[in-house]
Structure 1
């Protein structure tokens, strides 16, 4: 029995050994065949790629592709370096260096996109075979095998809409060449700067800011994993549109990183437990100072073209001061603070540089993108009288000792189809008045007569020289602000800055410098400077406009510092202006309804004039803004103004000792001390014909003498 059992046991052991040998042989065969096949394919593929890259004429050469210029986002900055806005087209991208990309983000992308990235030569043969057999089993394209390098060359050099085998072969050939030219980290960094992460974000810089409003180097492990999971399907895994799927995808990336040893177990568990925390909005959708940005964008497009502006990665430095912007917006909001209030615009220019320091083009860019500070062409009212005053002084008129009669006038001149009738608002008149007195009262009837003496063409010339760029009609009514087209607050601020700058006009500038993405200066502002009017005339006009703030129509603009300015109000209170300046800043404020010519006859219970809300807004803004500069007086020029003692006027009248209030000297007369209410600047006249012949006629008394009698007491206080 023992012998039989032993024989049977021996036969069993032999049978088992045979079966084991057969099993080993089968396993060896099963393992060997794929390995041999894989080796053969690998050898053939590598040889093929090498041969193809070297000699095949029909396949692309990496060297022949040339340099690819990635679309980059343009950035606009304020004067202090604060970012105002991004400008981009379809591709929102900011290229960053490898030093700015954290390793944790590199590892996350490699783990989920190409786990054998550091071991292959551009083409992952194991992944290729895996995808091949999987697709054969599925009888459809179920898996891909593109490596990070292949994705990169595909994005850079090939048509992404082409899904042919030829395109895939070209992709492999170029990937193999790229791996020979660049290091793994260089390739990975290029990939991370080009790949799409959804929400118009191309590259990790845009992606990190779009979803977390962070620099890539500040990303947490969980945030890096979330970004790494997006390129495969940015829409499906969008954390804003599909947060649950995004979280699931992020966790998949974390698990893969742990599996491959890129993170420890504790790091993995901690990141898995982190909730999805996104920035409340993408910073690329938020624009600081939208009216400023829109104006800058328009200028940039005219300088560089749309393609370069939206894809050229420009770095644009502007002159805008964020503190001034805030002051301006607060001054407007705190003054016009009730429902239904009119709109306001404000422009502030630094007088010695022409730099635009603040620009408020409206209160709500979302509801109206029309920039009132630049695009609005409105009637300036009596704020245009300043140009008539400048023209008169250029002709040699002495404003302290030249007199006109304040009275309703009906002026005729050759070519006029009907008389030009002018009156003052409220029909209050003052008899014989000096030009200075009429300026402080903003007397329409005096300035209408003076306009005919000076000549409309001369007034137009002065306005253009000083900074008005709009087309102006050479009509006498221009002296009262009766324009056919109108002017913008930017133009008025620029023109008044000429007075503050000793008669030198500096072209207003908002773009200071433009650089490319590498910091190379492409363009730098060199504002055009011209001596528009003499320093003597500018200084004398400034002295008169200083009095206007002290005791004229602009008293509500007093900032307890040297300042000068002029009010302006149009017929039916449809537009109200205050244009004023200090030695440092020129600021213009306009108030009105942009949608139509709507009367402001009852705003907060008052009729809106230039001396009311515009002057108040100007005062609030300038009181703080000008104190960033040391207090100083307007600089008196070495060459003093010379009046023409033989200046003759068609409308000048001879004052008598009982009808005047003036002085026989050219110094500021102490007797001109009456304070005039702000409403007296309202323009009330009909627009005359455009023809302006040299010899106007009227029934007013004329003077043929330049006698300057002594000064009696000033005129009575007006009530308009």
Structure 2
């Protein structure tokens, strides 16, 4: 036995030193772990900074309103957000989310122990962090504060700590509201209001019980339960939430049964940055040309409220006026833009398909590229003459064709510049007032030769028109008098210029925006001098171009165009100053007109098409099919465009005071009295002082045409001239290409 005892004492213990230490002190490990964990939690709680929900900048879509506060549409990027007052939501909306995501919401302090245990077990057995178990409070912290996609222990600890702190700072009702404004629900929608709009085309307070139950049911995997692709799954998720709400006592059996019987119906998801049911061309132009260049991506994330100068009532009237003149089977396009003398946009129609955002993105005839303006540009030549002291009583021959021998307008080979009146019609001697009223090309050709094209070119630039591509300034060509020489115009540019006439020589800054507010209601920027939303008036945007009296003289002449000239179709029972314009082959037809409070421009024509797409080059029409007259009628500016203008303006001015344009204080004193421009030939008889015949309209109904239909005797055949091109007789304004070939460039000085 002694030997045995000796052998036992002498036997070596097989356990290692580390194992012995573990057995001796192992019980301390859990305590140390708990202590360290408690220390980490304590330090994190003490020093972690919680961005308060009121300080969290959520990406929100911009809302756009008209001048009367009516919502027009929204601008959103990939994320669509609309912050709303959740206190105004029906109780079942919050109840549905709680039933779906956190049934213990009102019992925990931000962390659900049962959820944590379940998540911990799943994560241990799964070998990593994969299971959530987060409360609504934790989900809000994750979505709006941390926004960290990585699932790490550190992030989960911080999430839990911040959730506890959040619960101590805010009430359960407030936290639920934060969550409803930030939760992602698919289709790019963040928050219950955005989801209500993109799924059901309504506001959140208008959601039905079944619709809200569906939205609550897809929070965990919104893209997996889209009604179109997975109707069965969508209904299952909805019904699961309804059953949970019934179990919690949030709803009654009859409510649940009624909601379960319905099908989940959601509207089609449409991608895009502009969402609108109205004024699509205005919305796209405003986004692309005005707001995005100034605010960039902030436009889509800031939650701006953009209050515009547009009037949705007038916009509707403008669309109706245009639509009434466009036959469904025709390819003709039309555009209308209306603004105040301050440049505030009241209506904008950029083409067909008024409320189609896709169409509006394609091409906007109000603002994208110019068209040849024809005689709608004649007022700038007249205004240049007035500024030089030349009276509208100055007289010129109205014979057609006119031969301009002055070197400033002559052809490069020295032969005279030949100009035809519309339709080849001739007149006797006319003063400038009569020549404007009847849109007589021959007189305007003589006028620009008299005053020089330099002043006209400068005036066009001063009124906001751009030089042709490749030119630094508008070339001073005589064809400017007829709306040619490659100086094209958009309806927006022309409307701004004519608004400058109405504003007595002050060219306005185009102003589609009144002011912008932040999502909190603070003023971001005020755009109009008449608005003081930011505490100070915005700077006046107008630029004085000509003297008031010069503009008054011009407006007085332009009223005669509507009273008894080429635009009698635009008469609306109050003073109107305007001018028609028609180009070669009737491809472009214009009417630009104003009452003292409002200027409106209408364009109508056929776009050139190439491979089914609109292309920028639209001045020339090689396809006879595209050039055919609208509805079988040769359209002039005094026909359909003037009629569209009148249809719109009758409604637009219904509540405006009837005002007259200011009477000129004085008239220019220089009176020119030119003889007929027939080179090397004596007239056989003295021409009459009046037009050879009262103009008659070339379309039904018969007010006044853009030129008389009965020509007087042509000039002698011995007159040297350039062989007339097919476009020589063109429209009211000579064809730009032929005019440019015949009228040389010239500008005095270096």
Count of matched residue positions in the alignment of Structure 1 and Structure 2: 645
1:686 — aligned with what?
739
Match of 1:454 among 443, 451, 454: 451
Match of 1:549 among 554, 557, 562: 562
Deviation (angstroms), 1:540: 2.4
TM-score, normalisation: structure 2: 0.78
What pairs with 1:183-582 in structure 2 (closer than 5 Å)? 183-278=171-266, 285-302=275-292, 304-351=294-341, 353-364=342-353, 365=356, 366-367=358-359, 369-404=362-397, 406-407=399-400, 408-413=402-407, 417-418=412-413, 419=415, 420-468=417-465, 472-526=474-528, 527-582=540-595
Deviates more, 1:49-58 or 1:234-243: 49-58
Deviates more, 1:179-188 or 1:87-96: 179-188
Q: Find the aligned partners of 1:295 and 1:607 in 2 and give their Cα distance.
A: 31
**Contact 1:432-1:655 at 8 Å conserved across structures:** no
**Contact 2:395-2:674 at 8 Å conserved across structures:** no
1:667 — aligned with what?
none
Q: Cα deviations across residues 452-509 of structure 1 (Å, max 9, x unaligned)?
A: 2122221123333445456633211111101324111011112112222333332221
Which secondary structure does the structure 2 equivalent of 1:406 belong to? coil
What pairs with 1:109-120 in structure 2 (closer than 5 Å)? 109-120=97-108
**Contact 1:505-1:530 at 8 Å conserved across structures:** yes
TM-score, normalisation: structure 1: 0.81
Deviation (angstroms), 1:390: 0.9
Deviates more, 1:680-689 or 1:143-152: 680-689
**Contact 1:53-1:61 at 8 Å conserved across structures:** no
Match of 1:174 among 150, 153, 162: 162
Deviation (angstroms), 1:266: 4.3
Runs of 5+ consecutive residues of structure 2 not aligned to the other structure: 1-28, 469-473, 529-539, 609-617, 698-703, 708-730
Distance 1:540 1:192, change over 3 A: same
Q: Cα deviations across residues 304-340 of structure 1 (Å, max 9, x unaligned)?
A: 4322101111111111112222222222221121423
Distance 1:542 1:65, change over 3 A: closer
**Contact 1:661-1:672 at 8 Å conserved across structures:** no
**Contact 2:80-2:188 at 8 Å conserved across structures:** yes
Deviation (angstroms), 1:679: 4.1
Distance 1:671 1:42, change over 3 A: farther
Which secondary structure does the structure 2 equivalent of 1:75 belong to? strand
Deviates more, 1:226-235 or 1:682-691: 682-691
**Contact 1:100-1:216 at 8 Å conserved across structures:** no
Distance 1:338 1:248, change over 3 A: closer
Q: Find the aligned partners of 1:52 and 1:235 in 2 and give their Cα distance.
A: 37
Q: Find the aligned partners of 1:401 and 1:449 in 2 and give their Cα distance.
A: 11
Which secondary structure does the structure 1 equivalent of 2:139 belong to? helix
**Contact 1:372-1:594 at 8 Å conserved across structures:** no
2:644 — aligned with what?
617
1:632 — aligned with what?
659
Q: Find the aligned partners of 2:267 and 2:140 in 1 and give their Cα distance.
A: 29
Q: Find the aligned partners of 2:208 and 2:125 in 1 and give their Cα distance.
A: 40
Q: Find the aligned partners of 1:463 and 1:64 in 2 and give their Cα distance.
A: 56
Deviation (angstroms), 1:608: 2.0
Q: Find the aligned partners of 1:41 and 1:126 in 2 and give their Cα distance.
A: 21
**Contact 1:381-1:682 at 8 Å conserved across structures:** yes
**Contact 1:546-1:562 at 8 Å conserved across structures:** yes
Distance 1:690 1:204, change over 3 A: farther
Q: Find the aligned partners of 2:491 and 2:56 in 1 and give their Cα distance.
A: 44
Deviation (angstroms), 1:656: 12
Deviation (angstroms), 1:689: 4.7
Q: Cα deviations across residues 135-193 of structure 1 (Å, max 9, x unaligned)?
A: 66788988531122222222233354312333323322332333333332222221111
**Contact 1:377-1:487 at 8 Å conserved across structures:** yes
Q: Find the aligned partners of 1:571 and 1:207 in 2 and give their Cα distance.
A: 53
Q: Cα deviations across residues 573-599 of structure 1 (Å, max 9, x unaligned)?
A: 221111111122211111112234336
**Contact 1:398-1:644 at 8 Å conserved across structures:** yes
Which secondary structure does the structure 2 equivalent of 1:544 belong to? helix
**Contact 2:427-2:692 at 8 Å conserved across structures:** no
Distance 1:634 1:671, change over 3 A: farther
Which secondary structure does the structure 1 equivalent of 2:651 belong to? helix
Deviation (angstroms), 1:690: 5.1
Q: Cα deviations across residues 652-685 of structure 1 (Å, max 9, x unaligned)?
A: 99999942426xxxxxxx9997556534352235
Deviation (angstroms), 1:88: 0.9
Q: Find the aligned partners of 2:476 and 2:30 in 1 and give their Cα distance.
A: 87
Q: Find the aligned partners of 2:32 and 2:276 in 1 and give their Cα distance.
A: 54
Q: Cα deviations across residues 427-468 of structure 1 (Å, max 9, x unaligned)?
A: 332243222222222121211111121222211233334454
Q: Find the aligned partners of 2:425 and 2:377 in 1 and give their Cα distance.
A: 21
**Contact 1:424-1:445 at 8 Å conserved across structures:** yes
Distance 1:445 1:82, change over 3 A: same
Distance 1:573 1:268, change over 3 A: closer
Deviation (angstroms), 1:530: 3.2
Q: Find the aligned partners of 1:70 and 1:383 in 2 and give their Cα distance.
A: 49
Which secondary structure does the structure 1 equivalent of 2:338 belong to? strand
**Contact 2:45-2:162 at 8 Å conserved across structures:** no
- Select the structure of larger CA radius of gyration: 1
Q: Find the aligned partners of 1:442 and 1:491 in 2 and give their Cα distance.
A: 21
Match of 2:689 among 641, 661, 669: 661
Which secondary structure does the structure 2 equivalent of 1:393 belong to? helix
Q: Find the aligned partners of 1:466 and 1:121 in 2 and give their Cα distance.
A: 67
Distance 1:458 1:317, change over 3 A: same
Which secondary structure does the structure 2 equivalent of 1:248 belong to? helix
Q: Find the aligned partners of 1:506 and 1:213 in 2 and give their Cα distance.
A: 39
Deviation (angstroms), 1:372: 0.6
1:666 — aligned with what?
none
Deviates more, 1:403-412 or 1:478-487: 403-412
Deviation (angstroms), 1:105: 1.8
Distance 1:203 1:188, change over 3 A: same
Distance 1:555 1:648, change over 3 A: closer
Deviation (angstroms), 1:213: 3.2
1:17 — aligned with what?
none
2:605 — aligned with what?
592
Runs of 5+ consecutive residues of structure 1 not aligned to the other structure: 1-39, 663-669, 696-720
